[in-house]
Every structure is written in C-alpha cells, then in structure tokens.
Structure 1
C-alpha cells in the first residue's frame, strides 16, 4: 500500500482528511500525522511516505522551504499542498518545486480525490525528474543576487559532463539559492555548514553534496570568496586598517585573513590596497 502523511496545524482538517476519504480505495494507508512543518519533516525522514498532504502556512516554517527540503532529499514523494489563501505566484513556485497539487481550503472531496489520483499515477510512472532553469530562479535585477549567481552558479551551468550540460532540479536549486543567500547575509558571523543546513531544513551532509554539485565549491570556499570580495570593496573604498577590515568581514585573526586573501587574489591585502 502507498504510505500517506498528513500535516496541518488544524486538528479538524487532519481528522477530516483521515475520515472523509476512502483511502483503501486508493490502496493507501495513513502512517502518520503532524501539526507543524518541522514535525512533518521529521515524519517524512522517519516514515519515508509515498504521499504528503500538508498545509503550506504553519507557524515557524517557510512552506516552500519545507517542500524544497523534502523534494531534495526525497524526490519521489508526491506532495499536495493546502492553503487558506489565494496566491497565484506562491502556487506557481510550489508547482515548480515539484508539488503535484495546490488546493484552496476548504477543499472539496472531488478535488482531493483528483489530487490523490494524480499522485498515484505519478508514483506508478516513476523516473521522471524535472529540470530547472536557474536563470529564472535567481533575480539578476537584484545586485546582490546577480553577484551571487555570477560568482557561484553561472560558470557551473556552462560546464559540460559527457558533452551534455549538468542538469539540476528545482527543489535542489531552491535550496542552493536559500543556502548561498544565507551565507551572504551572515558572512560576518562565525558560520558553520550545520548552521546553513539547519536554515534549509536538510542535513549538513546533503547540503555539502549539493554545494559541490551546483557550484563546484565547498562551504568554506563559498564563505571565504564572499568575505574576500567584501574585503576588496573595503580596501578600495575605506581608510579602515587591515586589522579592522579583517574583523569586519568575519575573520577572527588578521594573519589568517591575509593568508586567505593572498590565496584568492595572489597578493596581500596591503599590496591590493596600494595597487588601487
């Protein structure tokens, strides 16, 4: 039988889905229910369901991030999202991430049954994976996103593997964007791979694998590239001392900063400043 998980912070919705649908008719059984996004993630990891039916808007959880995390680590899970709000753009993003159906609450039984039928058919024809156009995922009208895309993603897209371009799926692409933007916004802090993985609701091992696949770089390579680029801006545009700039871009030791800077730029921070 197909395993089903239901996640919603409204008990009446969970009960209605459990009792209002003849699950046996679809060769399905409900193996778990949850009341929060984090609980849903844990249930998916523990029970490895075939189908997830979940509210998209729950406390302390970005619904799209939850979907991306699930579809990244469990790509074969079929997802139906429920929402009390009519938001076309949100629905489009959810479907791009691999959601099969996006239904408005209160959903009619025939709508739910049609969604279940579609998910069952998808499960019966496994092996189909979507491809992502990362140019559409990144907003290059935004100067920060354009910098991150050009620095970490663009070159990788143009690389070839066995004479064909590397293929990416939307859930993983969403996670990579979320991870890199988080690094960019927090590069001054003492960041760890686990910090970023937790922010994306995935394991650090999985994030490390995705970073390497999507950027060709490791976690510290990405963070240090951001820090060094910020240091270059400060060396050119401020009169702050090199020790101060080292602190401002997240290095705890100026000697370590100088060594990393020279590794990336070929010259010391002092020589770089003098050359500009």
Structure 2
C-alpha cells in the first residue's frame, strides 16, 4: 500500500479528501494529515509517505521553500499542490522543483483523479520506490540516493535560500538549526547540501560572511576592533581575533594598518 499524507489549513478539505477518494481501491492508505505546514513536515518525516497532497498558501509558511525541502529530502515522494494561489510563475517554479501537479481550488474531482493517476504511475515506474515497498531498507535507500538528492533543482534552491538567510542574519547568534528551520529541512540534510554545493561547512560559511563584513568595517578608523567584533556577531573579542587571523592570515589590527596605509 502506498502511504498518503494530506496537508491543508482548511479542515473541511482534509476531511473531504480523506472520505471522498477511494484510497483502498487505489492501493493507498492515508497515513497522516496536518493543518499547517510545520505540523505537516513533522508528519512527513515520521510517516515518509509516497504521496503528498498539500496546500502551500498557509500561515507562516513559504510554500516554494517547503516544496524544495520536501523534494530534496524525499526525492521519491510524489507531490500534488492543491491551492487557491493563482500565479503562473509560482506554479511553474513549483513544477520545476519537482511537483507532479498544481491544482487550483476549487478543483474538480476529475482533476484530482488525473493527478492521483499520474503520481501512482510515477511511483510504479520508480525502481527506488519498488525496492522500498518490497524491502524495509529505508536507511540504505537514503544513503544510496544521497548524490542524486544533492544534485536536484530543489536542493540548489534550498542552498540559495540558506546562504541568503546567513547573509541577512550573520550578526545574530546564528546556529545551523536556525537556518535549517528557515528552509524547512533537517540539520543533517542542510549540512550535506552546504558541503556539496559550497565545499564548506556551516561554521566556515558563517565565519567567511562575518570576516568579509569585518574587513569592510576595519576601513573606518573611528571604529574600535572590539566594536567591530560585536557588530559582526562575536561576543568574545579573543574568538573574533583568532577567527580573523585564521581566515585572513594577519591580525585585524595589521589588516587595518595595511588597508589604511594603502588608501593614502
């Protein structure tokens, strides 16, 4: 039996899909439902469904980021979006990220039937899904598919958003968990993606951003180095100094003197 998860912030739609569709005759079972995106992510990670039917216009949720997260972390999962959000460019991007069907509310039953038929056809022709159904090898399957997952359009989308979030929030006490939550993937998965696409881990990326900002601020002779350290997110001056010298090759004070001297 293929497992299905339904996510929508309108309970009547969730109940309607649960009761109206003859899931058993399709070889499916509704494994879980959720009323918002964050709860939905928890259900998906717990149940690891084969099929997802979800709205993407929900409170406190970036729909495209959620799609990218799901398709990157669960590449074999078939996704149909059911939404009232009418935007062609948005729909096109969702499909590029791996969505099977993008249906506008209110959708006709025929449209949903066609979407289900398409998703089931894709699942039945996917060797990884067939293997998963025949054998309980989820852990091995995840490892085998790592390279494929990391090279997807969805993964690239996630990394772009993660780097943008780091650029915008480098002054805060930023942790990998904060960035992962923002792009809707697990810390483990985001760490893999960052290493694959940038060749650096989270700490290296964050420190690079902070040091570039520090070098810019050091050009202002009126700013004390301690103030600059705090401005770029370091609470400990000694820690800032160690990181700066490791990244740049000279101390912050030497860098300032070199730069200011060359500007004269």
2:227 corresponding residue in structure 1: 244
CA 1:167 to 1:220, structure 2 compared with 1: closer, same or farther past 3 Å?
closer
Q: Secondary structure at the match of 1:202?
A: coil
Q: Could you say what the CA RMSD is over the residues aligned between the two structures, in angstroms?
A: 1.8
The answer to whether residue 186 in structure 2 is matched with residue 207 in structure 1 is no
2:59 corresponding residue in structure 1: 59
For the 8 Å contact 1:21–1:109, the answer to whether it is kept is: no
1:179 corresponding residue in structure 2: 162
The answer to whether residue 226 in structure 2 is matched with residue 267 in structure 1 is no
1:170 corresponding residue in structure 2: 153
2:43 corresponding residue in structure 1: 43
Q: CA deviation at 1:127?
A: 5.6
Size of the aligned set, in residue pairs, is 239
2:110 corresponding residue in structure 1: 110
Q: Which runs of 4+ in 1 moved over 4 A?
A: none
Q: CA deviation at 1:98?
A: 0.8
2:93 corresponding residue in structure 1: 93
Q: Distance in 2 between matches of 1:244 and 1:237?
A: 12
The answer to whether residue 203 in structure 2 is matched with residue 220 in structure 1 is yes
Q: Distance in 1 between matches of 2:72 and 2:104?
A: 25
Q: Deviations over 1:51-80 (max 9, x none)?
A: 000111111221222222222221111000
Gaps of 5+ in 2: 129-148, 260-264
Q: Secondary structure at the match of 1:60?
A: coil
Q: Distance in 2 between matches of 1:37 and 1:238?
A: 48
Q: Secondary structure at the match of 1:236?
A: coil
Q: CA deviation at 1:13?
A: 1.1
Q: 173, 187, 197: which is aligned to 1:190? A: 173
TM-score scaled by length of structure 1:
0.82
TM-score scaled by length of structure 2:
0.85
Q: Deviations over 1:24-58 (max 9, x none)?
A: 33222212221111121111111111100011111
For the 8 Å contact 2:2–2:27, the answer to whether it is kept is: yes
